[in-house]
Amino acid sequence: MLHSKHITIPANTTANNPLVTQFIVNKGVIASAWLGFPSGCVGLVRTRVYHQGHPFLPVDADAYISGDNFTFVYAPMVEILESPELITVEAWNLDDTYNHTVDLQILIIDKMWVQPVGAYEGIVAALSSIFRKEARK
């Protein structure tokens, strides 16, 4: 399922009082995320995306993403364990004159498409076999 948000951040929105946008997602894995900064943002718009209070775009709690005329593409592989859950976007705008927008798209797919049933068990069995062979030498 593809979720899409067009978020407008008012001028003079500070990091101490960011614009917070939340949206509901269903169970699955965040396989892809696109965060676009249209031309004119010139690095003045800063954004963080959270799941369950933990940032995943970017992963550092004190970091942010900014840009100008660029769309960042990520494959965060964050698992959403329950339905429904919230994704939270924090954004602020250092521009003292103009509102700016960011576009966020998040693709959530079923976990079985990320890790097919039995894949984990097969990998563990293969690694165990290798280690047992090495131990016998």
Residue 83 lies in a domain: yes
Residue 119 lies in a domain: no
- The total domain count for the chain is 1
In this structure, the strands spanning 2-9 and 78-80 are unpaired
Mean pLDDT of the chain: 89
CA dist., res. 10 & res. 18, Å (int): 10
Residue 135 lies in a domain: no
15: phi then psi, degrees, rounded to nearest 5? -65, -30
CA dist., res. 57 & res. 30, Å (int): 11
Number of C-beta neighbours around residue 26 at 10 A:
13
Residue 122 lies in a domain: no
The parent domain of residue 13 ranges over: 2-111
**The CATH number of the domain where 40 resides is what?**
2.60.120.260
pLDDT digits (tens, 9 = 90+) for 75-90: 998 989 998 999 999 9
pLDDT digits (tens, 9 = 90+) for 64-121: 999 999 999 999 989 899 989 999 999 999 999 999 999 999 999 988 777 655 565 6
On whether the CB atoms of residues 105 and 75 are closer than 8 A, the answer is: no
